[in-house]
Chains A and B, each alone.
Chain A
Amino acid sequence: MATRSASSKLSMRNLRANLARFLVIGLFVVFVLVPLYWVVITSIKPSSDYLTVPPVWFPAQPTIIHYTAALFSYRGLQGLINSLIVASAATVLSAVMGTMMAYSLARFNTGGQHLAFWVLSQRFLPPVAIILPIFLLFRSWHLYDTHIGLIIAYTFMTLPLSVWMMYAYFRQLPKSLEEAALVDGLSRWQAFRMVAVPLAAPGVAAAAVFVFIAVWTEFFFALILTSRYAFTLPTVFRAFLGFQGAQYGEACALATTSLVPSIILGMLVQRHLVRGLTLGALRG
């Protein structure tokens, strides 16, 4: 008897704990999804459905006119292309330079802890503290409002991420294969290029995806360093500030265009998320 009542008390407690758990999870899932749903659904709403009471949660006649308007009338397509160019180039540069530096830091302890710490501290440097001199520098070097200028800025911005993610990765990899390669007569560069990099390829790929997402979603540098020519997708949203022209559909179409690729990429690196968010300080 006693054991049965104890176990039923325990299961009551379990039930309540589970209820609380799923309430927390459920509420947060709704909180995440509702605004997203509103944006995606507004992007296919005809404008007559904008201001109805009650709000239209699913349009009777979905339309794609807002997408064509956002891409062609608001230069969204140009922004999309620029974002692709800039993000791809910066990703390659950042991954290559970051992997090289990380390898040196991990294998040779180059510069002691100071160099690694210095790179990490760049991650916390507020952009507003350095953007004005960079802006003046870019103007005098004719890098202002160019793809190359923005690529350089974003490579710089994402280096702490790629260096530290790869630093953590290399420290987990055994040295023995590279040492064997050196004994076989390979130069240090060849040992890096032909032994270490192939082994670290999954880590490099994950770091590269995080760099791409960081550049794809960045706003501040692009706002200051570009204007009519090299502007990226996030800066196009300035056209919708205040929604004076009631371009709700266009704004949402552009938002959907921008968020779908980065969410898909994010799902691909979900396994590496903890390392990506903490720059390798924590293993996921």
Chain B
Amino acid sequence: MAHSTTSRNLPSIPSGNPSGLVSAWADRHFKWLMVAPAALLILALSIYPLLFSLWVDFVNYDFEIPGHAFVGFQNFAQIVDDPLAWESLLTTIILSLTVVAIEFLLGLALALAMVRMFRGRGIVMSILIIPLFISPVIVGQSWALFLQRPFGPADYLLSHLLGHPVAISWIGEVPWVYIAIVIADVWQWTPFVFVILLAGLAAIPPHLYEAAELDGVSTLQTFFYVTLPQMAPIILLAITFRLLDAVRLFDIIFMLTGGGPGTATYTASFYLYQIGFQEFHLSMATAGSWLFLILLSVVIMVLVRRLLRAEAA
């Protein structure tokens, strides 16, 4: 056995010498020493920045102006008074709810279609999950290439499918630009929902279906009274993860639309990036990100706590 040989080869440590004391101390505090490196790094890069930014919220932090004069709630007022802030928030909410809803429906349909075995299922599975391993930047760029005139083939393909000429300005016009963002996001993240729901479907005990079949229950009824209730915790999990990622939508916007046309596709993250890193209103951006974080924390608390409870049950 591996462990008995290693122990035989180890020199026995006489108690009382300094190294013995150190190792005894290390053994006593072992569980905290193991946690320390990761916990300290997370503290340094999330708690410290959050506290620091809390201070920045209430001063005028500017590279140009020396000193940090206390300004009270002025930074928050600037954000709240900016109509673009509200528009970006609204865009974020509508876009993330839309993409998550579509990704859920498509993911569920795919999972139902893929749950049973067929020849070539392994290869199909490998293809379906490809988007998960691609940088969102590339996804944004690829869809820009695919949709954008005159280069992209999208309008050409649509013209042939529909039988009449199509000339849609996907990136430059509302509402098409929103549809373009939704398509890119759905392309990238439907596989995420699909993979999770498929695992959930596969885990439903077969005897439940057998019982339903014996009772002469229809396919649709089986779906609503057996499949969906059994999957509820997993559906909650998939939607929680997706929603909390969807609200930070940035990369695809950055590459596909640049927030445009005008400011039509500013999301909360993109707006805060513009304010902070393009216009250098550091205090204002920090105040905005705190407000965004507070809004999100409420959602996180509700969803993740419920998730933990569902998992514990």
Cβ–Cβ contact A42 & B46, under 8 A? no
Distance in Å: Cβ of A14 to nearest Cβ of chain B = 11
Interface string of B285-299 (1 = CB under 8 A from A): 110011011001000
B70 CB–A CB distance under 8 Å: no
Please tell me if the beta carbons of A278 and B37 are within 8 angstroms of each other in the complex.
Answer: no
User: Residue A38 at the B interface, CB < 8 A?
Assistant: yes
Identify which of A55, A105, A119, A125 gathers the most chain B CB atoms within 10 Å of its CB.
A125
- Interface status of A73 (Cβ within 8 A of chain B): no
A159:B41 contact, CB within 8 angstroms: yes
Chain B nearest CB from A119 CB (Å) reads 7
Q: Is A194 an interface residue (CB 8 A)?
A: yes
Please report whether the interface of chain B is mostly helix, strand, loop or mixed according to DSSP: helix
Write the nearest CB–CB distance from A58 to chain B, whole angstroms: 13
Asked if B17 is at the interface (CB within 8 A of a chain A CB), the reply is no
The stretch from B74-82, B108-116, B204-212 touching chain A is: B108-116
The reply to whether the CB of A6 lies closer than 8 angstroms to some CB of chain B is no
Contact assessment for A255 and B46 in the assembled complex, using a CB-CB cutoff below 8 Å: no
Residues of B within 8 A of A120 (CB): 304
- Compute how far the CA of A58 lies from the CA of B292 in the bound complex, rounded to whole angstroms: 47
Return chain A residues, CB-CB under 8 Å to B38: 97-98, 100-101, 119, 159, 163
> Provided the pairs A25-B124, A121-B304 are in contact, do residues A255 and B110 lie with their beta carbons within 8 angstroms?
no
Contacts of A31 in B (CB 8 A): 187
Q: Does B32 contact A (CB under 8 A)?
A: yes
- The complex places the Cα of A213 from the Cα of B137 at a distance, in Å, of 14
In the complex, how many angstroms separate the beta carbon of A109 from the nearest chain B beta carbon? 9
A279, chain B: closest CB distance, angstroms: 8
User: How far is A281 from B304 in the complex, measured between Cα atoms in Å?
Assistant: 11
Beta-carbon contact of A104 and B46 below 8 Å: no
A97 vs B35: C-alpha distance in the bound complex, in angstroms? 8
Tell me the complex Cα distance, A243–B258, Å.
Answer: 13
Taking a contact as CB atoms closer than 8 A, the residue among B7, B106, B130, B300 that contacts A36 in the complex is B130
Given A124-B244, A128-B272, A234-B138, the answer on whether A251 and B145 have CB atoms closer than 8 Å is yes
- B31 CB within 8 Å of chain A: yes
Cα separation A184 to B6 with both chains bound (whole Å):
9
Cβ–Cβ < 8 Å partners of A148 in chain B: none
**In the assembled complex, how far is the CB of residue B56 from the closest CB belonging to chain A, in whole angstroms?**
7
A128 near B250 with CB under 8 A, answer yes
- A44 to chain B: which residues have CB within 8 Å? none
Is A180 at the interface (CB under 8 A from chain B)? yes
| In the assembled complex, A2 has its CB within 8 A of some CB on chain B | no
Contact across chains for A187 and B3 when beta carbons are under 8 A apart: no
User: Given A33-B127, A216-B135, A273-B195 in contact, is the A156-B250 Cβ separation under 8 Å?
Assistant: no
Interface of A is mostly: helix
A51-B150, A282-B237 known; A25 and B113 CB under 8 Å?
yes
Of chain A, the residue at the smallest CB distance from B31 is A108
**Interface residues in chain A, defined as those with a beta carbon under 8 Å from any beta carbon in chain B:** 17, 20-22, 24-25, 28-29, 31-36, 38-39, 42, 50-51, 53-55, 97-98, 100-101, 103-105, 107-108, 110-111, 113, 115, 117-122, 124-130, 132-137, 152-153, 155-156, 159, 163, 177, 180-181, 184-190, 192, 194-195, 198, 213, 216-220, 223-224, 233-234, 237, 240-243, 246, 248, 251-252, 255, 258-259, 262-263, 265-267, 270, 273-274, 277-278, 281-284
- Which A-B residue pairs are the 6 nearest by beta carbons? A133-B49, A266-B133, A217-B135, A104-B34, A184-B7, A108-B31
Kindly list 6 other residue pairs between chains A and B, CB separation below 8 angstroms, not including A104-B32, A248-B151.
A29-B128, A36-B130, A51-B151, A53-B156, A188-B27, A278-B241
B residues contacting A by CB (< 8 A) are 2-4, 6-7, 10, 12, 23, 26-27, 30-32, 34-35, 37-39, 41-42, 44-46, 48-50, 52-53, 56, 106, 109-110, 112-114, 116, 124-138, 141-146, 148, 150-153, 156, 187, 190-192, 195-196, 199-200, 219, 234, 237, 241, 244, 247-248, 250-251, 254-255, 258, 268-269, 272-273, 276-277, 282, 285-286, 289-290, 292-293, 296, 300, 304, 307-308, 311
9 A-B residue pairings within 8 Å (CB atoms): A51-B151, A110-B34, A111-B35, A117-B308, A126-B289, A159-B42, A188-B30, A248-B151, A255-B141
